[in-house]
Structure 1
Amino acid sequence: MKNCLLICSFLFLLFSGSLLAQDKAHPSYVRWGELPPLPGTPGLAGCFAGVSNGTLLVGGGANFPDGGTPWTGSNKTWQDKVYALETATGSWKEAGKLPRPLAYGVSVTWKGGLICVGGSDANNHYADVFLLQYTNGRVQTTPLPALPKPLANACGVLIGDVIYIAGGTASPAATAAELVCWSLDLSKGVAGAQWTILPGWPGPARMLAVAGTLDGAFYLMSGVELVKGAGDSVAHRVFLKDAYRYTPAKGWAKVADLPEPVAAAPSPAYTSGQSHLLVFGGDHGRYFEQNAILKEKHPGFSDKVWAYNNITDVWTAIDTILTHKEADAAQQPNNSVWAPVTTPSVLWNGSVVFPSGEVRPAVRTPRVLMATPIQPAGAFHVLDWIIVGIYFLLVIGISVIVSRKMESSTNDFFLGGGKIPWWAAGLSIFGSKLSALTFIAIPAKAYATDWVYLLNNIMIVAVAPLIVYFYLPYFRKMQLTSVYEYLRIRFNQRVKLLGSLTFVLFQVSRLGIVIYLPALVLSAVTGINIFVCIIGITVITTAYSVSGGIEAVVWTEVMQVVVLLGGALIALIFMANSLPGGFGQLFTEAAENNKFRMAIMHGRITEPVLWVVLVGGFLTQLVTYSSDQVVVQRYLTTPTEKEARKSIYTNALLVIPASLIFFCVGTALWVFFKHNPAALNPNGRIDDVFPWYISNQLPSGLAGLVIAGLFAATMSTISSSMNSIATVVTTDFYQYLKPASTDRQRFAFARRTTVVLGVLGFFIAVYMVYLSNASIWDQYLKIIGLFGGCLAGMFVAGIFFPRINSVGIFIGFIVSAICLFFVQAANIVSFFLYPAVAVLMCVLVGYLSSLIWKEKG
């Protein structure tokens, strides 16, 4: 009863929070602001800008010092001063000078310094490259390898330690732009570095293009082509909107054209999230031929923020640049805020800075604009929370009913008294393995790529007969509670403890992950504080796991599977119906773009080629269904072995339609966002794509149902892990250390252990919130996860190789784990083959070691 009151209190808190958050206006993807304006100048065009030792540097550039224009008789002047801004609330100060007055080069921030590449003055273009470093209030200059030839009005970007430069002009009098692409690898330092000439892109030569980088590739976008016809005295500008991608291993490829030219837009483009490039403004060229006529009446350059998605290959306008035109904007342009061009973009303290720039032909601004990417919350409404609340009440109801019937015994707590029906056990196996990460990750994978990973999922169909005929009889005949007890019977106590400890370490580590990541997504799409989400998930799941044991876990998982699959299927139908051509359009467009590819026939062993996926998928499923206590424990909850067999086949057959649904959802997301690119959050991760769609596109009520499915997937994984860890800790460690303990004492210990696990999972998840980066934990889990294959190898050895003894298998486990660690570090095989390497090494080394070290009779 206390547990129920605690859960209901949390539901009230959650619902109240949703009422407060529901009427918020949908925020922008970018928050705009201004830094202090540049001092003592009407502004600069073509300046250099970057960051050195945390300080923003702006140097060089060209302007009309008296604030005039060419048509008022003013002359353009090139500058050499370098300004420094140490903090966003501080003041600019002069920090030194460039080697010469210089403008219209390429700026690159690299290892605490600003690299200035090329540029020009009134008379020449230059090949000079140098590094500016800010130390003790002054800049120091270090020369770097010069360009192969002089270049200005080019674009460039840094990818890792490699600088890429493309386009530009070779001299002030040039009548054609350059079709050149060069790279400079600084990974080994400045000494000995040389520029490498790369192939040119398959399009017109250009200047004033925009560079960008995404997923390790170099992007070249828009720009201006110079064309001189027969009899022309000067070259004419042709504004381009084509774009290209250069990948070192594959060369150049054309990508989608921009909706309009963005010549001279701040460069490089901002890399947003995991799959977007943002281009801010630019000159579309519609007024270029009228510049001399319009003069002060020129309306300025584009204020659109363009987003490119490299997954759907689509451009869309997602925002506008901060602008504000005063009544005297024509006569006093610096009183207004304009969208700038011919200025670098600089990433500084998490914001994109646009220092100065040209805002009208021949007019500069001293203003420094700043754009800060923001993560908007999803739109979740009262009806959605009512649906989620009903789901929670169903979970509570199941827990209450089961807890009233459960006896205070470990048999009931761990095995449900052996009275779970086969179909419920089968659904529970399925639910325990389909985590919230899978609910999120499978659609995201299909959205970003294709269906190559589908075969990995459905290999359980091939593994199920092996489990039924070779493993299940052993587990049932020995009347096991912990599957690792088999290792004691087959080998010895030491081997069993090694297996049990491996399982516990992996599951406890994973527990924090499966609480944190779904809570992160739920917080993002609902607007509820992430700590409230973590507390809610942990409290409710721990409460019903403690009160009802494995039987409550199984029956809630049955309901959760229905909610989970139902929610995903509804989302799929809704996505298809939102397209004019329905499912026909969905499948046709996906097929035309190879989104249904299921096999890669040729490739390296490090890639997911067909045989790698089949072998790896088979052994991955074998690892899970033969040695994972979470799964095997369900085999033992049914009354008979025959019903256990049915439960295994039920799960295997259910995986097929479930996998098809989730892969179809991912493909449908790709088609939907290809037609609705502005509906996608450019600042989000790829893994957020399905939850983002749920919270922003599904009608109120349906969104709640699908989010309930996400809760269901999360809670089924957590509850399964908690109960299984408690089972292993109680039977393999507590009972071993206290053999005289009664069953009632072990039952009480198991319940306390479940509570401790809930608290431990909560603190790990909270720690990860403050860590703000899951990559360290991902690596840690990957290392721990390596032992899963080795653990399966112990069972393979025990069942199929009677000559392998306890000494041999212990050595085999350790050696295979070490070998697999180095195989992973060297990246010499696909991760699909890690289980194959682990099982093979464990069995092989175990067999050879058993021949050398005979067990004492």
Structure 2
Amino acid sequence: MEKIKWDNSLTLPEIDGRANIGVAGAFSGFIGNNLVIAGGANFPDTTPWNGGHKTWWNTLYYIDISDPTAKWNIVRDCMPKALAYGISIELPYGLLCIGGCDDSQCYKDVFLLQIKNGKIEVDTNWPSLPVPLANAAGVLLDNKVYIAGGQESMVMQEATGHFFVLDLSNRKKGWKTLETWPGAPRGYAVSAAQSDGFDKCFYLFSGRNYKADGYVEVLTDGFVYNPRLNNWKKLDRQFPVMAGTAIPTGANHILFPGGVSRLIPGSDEHPGFDNVIRSYHTITNTLIEKEVVPYPIPVTTNIARKENTFYLTSGEINPGIRTPLLLKGEIIPFEKGLGTTNTIVIILYFASLAWIGYYFSKKQKNTDDYFKGGGRLPWWAVGLSIFGTSLSAITFMSIPAKSYSSDWSYMLVNAGILMVVPFILYLFIPFYRKLNVTTAYEYLEQRFNPLIRVICSLAFILFQIGRMGIVLFLPAIALNVVTGFDIFLCIGLMGILSLIYTMMGGIEAVVWTDALQVVVLLGGAILVVIIAIFNIPDGISGVIQEAASDNKFDLGSLNFDLKQSTLWTVLIATFFTNLTTYGTDQTMVQRYMTTETEKQAKKKCPDKCRSDHTCHITFFLCRHGTLCILQT
């Protein structure tokens, strides 16, 4: 798990010769390299329990965090009005500020803050919210802004269940109202955009439900909204993070810095804010306390993020108490060194591939040797090669990850291979052998014309270019993580080595290297399973019990829903996918021609032939689609 390095040395500057006490509910985020904090509210004279009056501000601070010597810039009256407790959305071209309030009312205004030529510019040409809102939660997800909850008024304050979306690619249509979550209305909620293993989703956590009559309830529930399916799902976990913040990390984690965990029942005493970092995993639906931060964590604030570094921009560290300090967190990804043993294994493996290419290069006498291996390859090696050709990094890395995020329904992809085996054995392979072709596209030329052959060959090449991009990129990520090598160097090394042994040894080298790769991959997978079983409490029974409790053995829904990966849609898709791959893909067809077969392309001349020379039999399809024989 990644670590977080904390620092609170950055502080808001003095203003009017007085130390800055900080603000809560400010708009904040990054505009380029500039960290921006605008507006907010505080008690500048004295604490609220001593009669202090809450003041809203229209002051903007910004600093270039890429320059260690940079100073804060202070801009007064930069926004349309003094505001706080709105929503901040970081966009590539500025900071979008949504809603907010002052001491008398909430607002529906939406405007964009930009920095051009060192000056703050405000773009108010944005569609207003359907209703005034403050203390709402919002995120940017797939170029759409989602907003949930909040309150409409400062007079009769009451939480709402509003849920709005604005499509930034077509913002002229304005905000659209969506179905609310299946829970209580709330303000001061926490939201984040993260993947649930299938789709990027909108997550809504905690908050508090309050009404005009004084009713207040701190909420700890959570919900997830899937934009593709347009539905909500309640999360079976408690999230004590009201008024806190959230930041998505990695592929499936959400970090919660601090928050208000609870209110003491029957008491007016405030429990204060904790300084615990919690981590939620969207796939396993687990919430853990990750660490305790050595500094106070503010609430009613925002997180401004720049790559792996984020800032909690001022905020409230105790009821009525602001902080001028900006809490900085740097996410340090977990890294493990490759080690001497692993390095030696990788070097020996790549050396073996190079030697295989060199060894078989000496056997290449003609094009038949190069493209078909002279028909001398053993069936078991070719079988392993066919399996290895389809067993790419996508299979080895992506599908297990998908199974981890969902269930075993993707195992049905392999069932599709079994479904197409009879068609391949009894239709495709005999057909290709009778034609005695080198490529699958020779048949298309014989059946139709050279243009069709060229078009289909180009289509195959373009498909393989796209596929190879993924196949090389995924293991390059793994090599980059464990070795620290530049990811482009990893891609280059794998690609160049593969080209070398293929060009030197032809299909024979490719088949034997594929067979070696299958042994290594399957052997490694089996070894990992064995090691995992011996290092998990209760061994194999513990694995089965845990997997069963999380429904990991589920093969998918039996409902016929083409929008979901149900059992039926996966089977249908995988059948036609594998039929295409194993029946027409050149990488498969070429291997079908490399084993010893009956001599259908070459045999002694029959009795009716008067000469004693060897007779060649050529099979082809005439224009009528009939399989014909040409004897020479």
The answer to whether the Cα contact below 8 Å between 2:108 and 2:130 also exists between their aligned partners in 1 is no
Aligned pairs (5 A) from 1:522-541: 522-541=479-498
The answer to whether the Cα contact below 8 Å between 2:8 and 2:325 also exists between their aligned partners in 1 is no
- Residues 729-781 of structure 1: per-residue CA shift (max 9 Å, x gap): xxxxxxxxxxxxxxxxxxxxxxxxxxxxxxxxxxxxxxxxxxxxxxxxxxxxx
TM-superposed CA distance for 1:430, in Å, is 0.8
**Aligned position for 1:80:** 58
Aligned pairs (5 A) from 1:494-573: 494-573=451-530
Which residue type is aligned with residue 222 of structure 1?
Answer: S
What secondary structure, in the 3-state scheme, does the structure 2 residue paired with 1:565 have? helix
**Pick aligned residue for 1:424 from 368, 373, 381:** 381
Using the alignment, how far apart are the partners of 1:200 and 1:401 within structure 2? 65
- Residues 3-26 of structure 1: per-residue CA shift (max 9 Å, x gap): xxxxxxxxxxxxxxxxxxxxxxx9
Aligned pairs (5 A) from 1:316-331: 316-318=288-290, 321=293, 323=294
- Change beyond 3 A, Cα 1:354–1:114: same
1:43 aligns with 2:22: yes
Using the alignment, how far apart are the partners of 1:502 and 1:192 within structure 2? 40
The answer to whether the Cα contact below 8 Å between 2:241 and 2:258 also exists between their aligned partners in 1 is yes
What secondary structure, in the 3-state scheme, does the structure 1 residue paired with 2:440 have? coil
Using the alignment, how far apart are the partners of 2:525 and 2:267 within structure 1? 55
The answer to whether the Cα contact below 8 Å between 1:184 and 1:195 also exists between their aligned partners in 2 is yes
Which residue type is aligned with residue 305 of structure 1?
Answer: I
**Aligned position for 1:257:** 237
Which residue type is aligned with residue 79 of structure 1?
Answer: W
Using the alignment, how far apart are the partners of 1:485 and 1:584 within structure 2? 54
Deviates more, 1:69-78 or 1:473-482: 69-78
**Aligned position for 1:355:** 313
Aligned pairs (5 A) from 1:586-597: 586-597=543-554
Using the alignment, how far apart are the partners of 2:368 and 2:31 within structure 1? 65
Choose between structure 1 and 2: higher strand proportion: 2
**Aligned position for 1:138:** 120
- Change beyond 3 A, Cα 1:128–1:634: closer
Using the alignment, how far apart are the partners of 1:218 and 1:407 within structure 2? 58
TM-superposed CA distance for 1:637, in Å, is 1.4
TM-superposed CA distance for 1:486, in Å, is 2.6
TM-superposed CA distance for 1:641, in Å, is 5.0
**Aligned position for 1:339:** 297
Using the alignment, how far apart are the partners of 2:473 and 2:126 within structure 1? 46
- Change beyond 3 A, Cα 1:58–1:804: farther
Which residue type is aligned with residue 259 of structure 2?
Answer: G
TM-superposed CA distance for 1:443, in Å, is 0.4
**Aligned position for 2:183:** 202
- Change beyond 3 A, Cα 1:423–1:60: same
What secondary structure, in the 3-state scheme, does the structure 2 residue paired with 1:340 have? coil
What secondary structure, in the 3-state scheme, does the structure 2 residue paired with 1:303 have? strand
TM-superposed CA distance for 1:94, in Å, is 0.5
Using the alignment, how far apart are the partners of 1:253 and 1:513 within structure 2? 32
The answer to whether the Cα contact below 8 Å between 2:257 and 2:278 also exists between their aligned partners in 1 is yes
The answer to whether the Cα contact below 8 Å between 1:118 and 1:125 also exists between their aligned partners in 2 is no
Using the alignment, how far apart are the partners of 1:146 and 1:546 within structure 2? 63
1:245 aligns with 2:245: no
1:220 aligns with 2:177: no
Which residue type is aligned with residue 78 of structure 1?
Answer: W
Aligned pairs (5 A) from 1:303-702: 303-318=275-290, 321=293, 323=294, 338-348=296-306, 351-396=309-354, 398-399=356-357, 401-403=359-361, 406-640=363-597
1:161 aligns with 2:144: yes
The answer to whether the Cα contact below 8 Å between 1:270 and 1:277 also exists between their aligned partners in 2 is yes
How many residue pairs are counted as aligned between the two chains? 592
TM-superposed CA distance for 1:213, in Å, is 2.4
Which residue type is aligned with residue 274 of structure 2?
Answer: S
What secondary structure, in the 3-state scheme, does the structure 2 residue paired with 1:596 have? coil
What secondary structure, in the 3-state scheme, does the structure 1 residue paired with 2:259 have? coil
- Change beyond 3 A, Cα 1:99–1:551: closer
Deviates more, 1:618-627 or 1:602-611: 602-611
Using the alignment, how far apart are the partners of 2:175 and 2:386 within structure 1? 58
- Change beyond 3 A, Cα 1:400–1:255: same
- Residues 187-221 of structure 1: per-residue CA shift (max 9 Å, x gap): 57666635637435324x44322122234433221
The answer to whether the Cα contact below 8 Å between 1:29 and 1:319 also exists between their aligned partners in 2 is no
TM-superposed CA distance for 1:147, in Å, is 5.6
Using the alignment, how far apart are the partners of 1:527 and 1:320 within structure 2? 30
Which residue type is aligned with residue 124 of structure 2?
Answer: T
- Change beyond 3 A, Cα 1:119–1:630: closer
Which residue type is aligned with residue 224 of structure 2?
Answer: R
- Residues 379-408 of structure 1: per-residue CA shift (max 9 Å, x gap): 43222223334434544554455455x243
The answer to whether the Cα contact below 8 Å between 1:39 and 1:366 also exists between their aligned partners in 2 is no
**RMSD, aligned CA:** 3.8
The answer to whether the Cα contact below 8 Å between 2:33 and 2:66 also exists between their aligned partners in 1 is no
Which residue type is aligned with residue 260 of structure 2?
Answer: D
Using the alignment, how far apart are the partners of 1:95 and 1:414 within structure 2? 74
The answer to whether the Cα contact below 8 Å between 2:206 and 2:222 also exists between their aligned partners in 1 is yes
Deviates more, 1:339-348 or 1:177-186: 177-186
TM-superposed CA distance for 1:62, in Å, is 1.7
TM-superposed CA distance for 1:513, in Å, is 4.0
Using the alignment, how far apart are the partners of 1:143 and 1:547 within structure 2? 63
Using the alignment, how far apart are the partners of 1:610 and 1:270 within structure 2? 35
Using the alignment, how far apart are the partners of 1:190 and 1:562 within structure 2? 54
TM-superposed CA distance for 1:166, in Å, is 0.8
Give the share of equivalent positions with the same residue, in percent: 36
Deviates more, 1:103-112 or 1:213-222: 103-112
Choose between structure 1 and 2: higher helix proportion: 1
**Aligned position for 2:38:** 59
Using the alignment, how far apart are the partners of 1:544 and 1:146 within structure 2? 62
TM-score if structure 1 supplies the norm length? Answer: 0.61
Q: Can you give the 5+ residue segments of structure 2 that lack an aligned partner in the other structure?
A: 601-619, 627-632
What secondary structure, in the 3-state scheme, does the structure 1 residue paired with 2:220 have? strand
The answer to whether the Cα contact below 8 Å between 1:168 and 1:208 also exists between their aligned partners in 2 is no
**Aligned position for 2:608:** none
1:278 aligns with 2:255: yes
TM-superposed CA distance for 1:414, in Å, is 2.3
Using the alignment, how far apart are the partners of 1:459 and 1:626 within structure 2? 13
TM-superposed CA distance for 1:532, in Å, is 4.4
**Aligned position for 1:126:** 106
Which residue type is aligned with residue 164 of structure 1?
Answer: I
**Aligned position for 2:617:** none
- Change beyond 3 A, Cα 1:525–1:603: farther
**Larger relative contact order (Cα-Cα within 8 Å, sequence gap ≥ 6):** 1
Which residue type is aligned with residue 617 of structure 1?
Answer: T
Using the alignment, how far apart are the partners of 2:351 and 2:237 within structure 1? 51
Which residue type is aligned with residue 202 of structure 2?
Answer: F
Using the alignment, how far apart are the partners of 1:467 and 1:642 within structure 2? 21
- Residues 123-161 of structure 1: per-residue CA shift (max 9 Å, x gap): x34243231433652343638666666554333334433
TM-score if structure 2 supplies the norm length? Answer: 0.81
Aligned pairs (5 A) from 1:806-817: none
The answer to whether the Cα contact below 8 Å between 1:209 and 1:223 also exists between their aligned partners in 2 is yes
TM-superposed CA distance for 1:531, in Å, is 4.5
Using the alignment, how far apart are the partners of 2:437 and 2:592 within structure 1? 10
What secondary structure, in the 3-state scheme, does the structure 2 residue paired with 1:569 have? helix
Using the alignment, how far apart are the partners of 1:190 and 1:169 within structure 2? 22
Using the alignment, how far apart are the partners of 1:592 and 1:131 within structure 2? 48
- Residues 243-280 of structure 1: per-residue CA shift (max 9 Å, x gap): 1223454543221434x6222213xx223233222222
TM-superposed CA distance for 1:362, in Å, is 2.8
Which residue type is aligned with residue 183 of structure 2?
Answer: P
Using the alignment, how far apart are the partners of 1:615 and 1:139 within structure 2? 55
The answer to whether the Cα contact below 8 Å between 1:48 and 1:107 also exists between their aligned partners in 2 is yes
